[in-house]
Amino acid sequence: MSGNNHLAACRLATKEDRAEFVRMWASYLEENRSDGSLIHADEHNLKVYRDYFDAYATGMLRGICLFFEPYEGGAPAGALLIGEEFQPSAMHDDLEVYATLLGVWVDPKCRVQGVSVALTEAALPLLREHGFPGIRTDIRGDNNGALGLEAVMVRLGHTIRQIHKLILVDMREE
């Protein structure tokens, strides 16, 4: 993945990409289970992502799904899925529809090479075209790759507002 044209490797997913998408998210869920995450790698969570993709592919979910394919004909090195979610606006009494970052997955062999940044940069103009005023996401405090998303957004000129902080207290015996 040498070169600076990472954005050219991003493409919108189609309904024909379903099997590859499901394979990637199964890998993501399994990886999170092995690192002690609270995200469970079970059939229910995999079904949630399958349902998200199916809703996207059939036009039922307003949003985008991008694949990062650095090599023509090769397997995707990453994927990003963003869909709509209603959030109360801090500035208005009405509801605004924000894009929710539902997930970003990067093949472990391709991490720290700008894949998630390229996916995010490619997604922003598409989200604007869909009329989204912003993006919301929840990031685990130990997910260093995802924490870099904040720096990318600031570098691209966006304002970051932390609405809430989720704290989990683990009371299991050591």
Mind listing the pLDDT tens digit for each residue in 146-157?
666 777 777 777
Q: Which residue has the tokens 């289970």?
A: 33
Mind listing the pLDDT tens digit for each residue in 69-89?
877 767 888 998 888 865 555
Q: How far apart are CA 105 and CA 89, in angstroms?
A: 29
Q: Round to the nearest angstrom and report the end-to-end CA distance of the chain.
A: 42
Q: How far apart are CA 7 and CA 132, in angstroms?
A: 21
DSSP letter (8 states) at residue 150: H
Contact (CB, 8 A) for 117 and 66? no
Beta strands in 29-137 (DSSP E): 63-68, 78-88, 95-106, 135-136
- Has residue 22 got a pLDDT over 80? yes
Q: Which domains does the chain have, with CATH numbers?
A: 6-155 (3.40.630.30)
What value does the mean pLDDT of the chain take? 76
Question: Which residues pair with residue 65 across a beta bridge?
Answer: 81
